[in-house]
Structure 1
């Protein structure tokens, strides 16, 4: 995957962003020549301690009915019984 990402990022118009960063661009779109200075997309932001959910999350290996394979879920809570998905957001079923 990393090799693929490096290849894709060689293109001048490709960005990997979080959901929040994409929404910021949707709210205030900028042309390609202004994206290097687009503040929501800078990588200098550090999290405050109050924003960090936990220092050592639980790593849960759960089987997913949807993906038909084991998936890993990182959580600060205890591991759910099933892999969370649509109509089972808390992994209870």
Structure 2
């Protein structure tokens, strides 16, 4: 529920890909293909592990919300299920 309410406010977690220039944050439609669950859980607790991103649009570079361990684990578990079978 947390992912569907809080994360989906900025990230798309379902649907078809759309052009990057129209997004406010990266798609998480296939996060399970792209990220390891363990990495996601660690990053969600400490989003300063990596730079905010290499997006050319500075208005989209905002500090990511840091989650407590229980929410980070729940989000990581859910996002690990978001997979595209073509990948």
* TM-score computed with the length of structure 2 as normaliser: 0.24
Q: Relative contact order (C-alpha < 8 Å, sep 6+): which is higher?
A: 2
Report the structure, 1 or 2, having the larger helix content.
2
Report the structure, 1 or 2, having the larger strand content.
1
* TM-score computed with the length of structure 1 as normaliser: 0.23
Greater radius of gyration (CA): 1
